Amino acid sequence: MLIVGYFFLFPIFRLVYVSFMSNEHTFTFSNFETAFKDPYRTGFLNSIKIGIFSAAIAAIPGAVAAYFIETRGSSKLRRTIAVMSGVLANTGGIPLAFMFYAALGIQGKLTQFIKFLGWDIYAGQFSLGSFVGLLIVYLYFQLPLMVIVFSPAIVSLRKEWSEAARNLGANQFNYWMRIGIPLLFPSFIASFLLLFASGFSAYATANALTVGNLPLTPLQIGGLLDGNVSASQLNLGKALGVVMIVISALAVIPYLVIQRRSARWQKL
């Protein structure tokens, strides 16, 4: 048992260990210095921004959708949505890029439809590879992800609580203000954090859409690992990777902590 248990820890530990080795191997912090200067600095800022914004626009619709699905949907509907969300949340890269080119690209069906209604979305600076464009595309997998991550919180809102509240004189508004929202809030924030991490780290989709025009950290790292990798490139890549891990950890670890704490009343 122990051998088997140990076995799978191995790759992970090696990885974490080695990522930190980037410090020693370069003898200086020069790689980290480079990492914080342009263009990498912009890359980080953009990635963080994309993480925050894509999470923000998916969070509330996702939460609301999850609420209605879990509280009013039939068992079959809920299961189907769960599966579909699972598939959709993992959609990315080329297939996703294709779908959006087909719909919202310059020749896209939806673009044409909207043009017909009087609005040319390409009149200005818009393109799918721009920041706004990416946000729209990211929504495609962020929204299902929100539904998946937030649904358990909705499910654990016991019917008894809303009934007891009504019985004690609370109308819907009161219930939500005093009971519903306070209970859901931590999970909501936690889900938001996870969505941030997802948007921040997305590689395949960004790669397919921006073709190098938008500085994003995942893409920059990808660039460094492309082709024949030189030592200095690799070290810079390591540095960038470490920073990515730190930023991601700053989001995901609070997420995990919040989930643990919420589990207390969710299991009640």
Site for other proteins, residues 146 to 185, rule: CB under 8 A: 158, 160-161, 163-171, 174, 178-179, 182-183
Residues 258, 184: Cα–Cα separation, whole Å: 11
CB of 126 to other proteins, least distance (A): 16
Q: Among 33, 38, 68, 230, which residue sits at the site for other proteins (rule: CB under 8 A)?
A: 68
Six token digits for residue 100: 């959006």
Determine, following the binding rule CB under 8 A, whether residue 91 of this chain makes contact with other proteins.
Answer: yes
Helix (H) or strand (E) holding 152: helix 131-155
Six token digits for residue 28: 């200086």
Residues 39, 265: Cα–Cα separation, whole Å: 46
CB of 174 to other proteins, least distance (A): 6
CB of 165 to other proteins, least distance (A): 8
Determine, following the binding rule CB under 8 A, whether residue 24 of this chain makes contact with other proteins.
Answer: no
Determine, following the binding rule CB under 8 A, whether residue 54 of this chain makes contact with other proteins.
Answer: no
Q: Among 49, 114, 252, 254, which residue sits at the site for other proteins (rule: CB under 8 A)?
A: 252
Determine, following the binding rule CB under 8 A, whether residue 189 of this chain makes contact with other proteins.
Answer: no
Residues 45, 39: Cα–Cα separation, whole Å: 10
CB of 138 to other proteins, least distance (A): 13
Residues 121, 132: Cα–Cα separation, whole Å: 12
Residues 197, 155: Cα–Cα separation, whole Å: 24
Determine, following the binding rule CB under 8 A, whether residue 217 of this chain makes contact with other proteins.
Answer: yes
Supply the DSSP symbol for 230. Answer: P
CB of 130 to other proteins, least distance (A): 17
Residue 39, preceding peptide bond in cis (omega within 30° of 0)? yes
Q: Return the number of the residue (130 or 162) whose C-beta is nearest other proteins.
A: 162
Q: Among 35, 58, 108, 210, which residue sits at the site for other proteins (rule: CB under 8 A)?
A: 108
The three-class DSSP label of residue 29 is coil
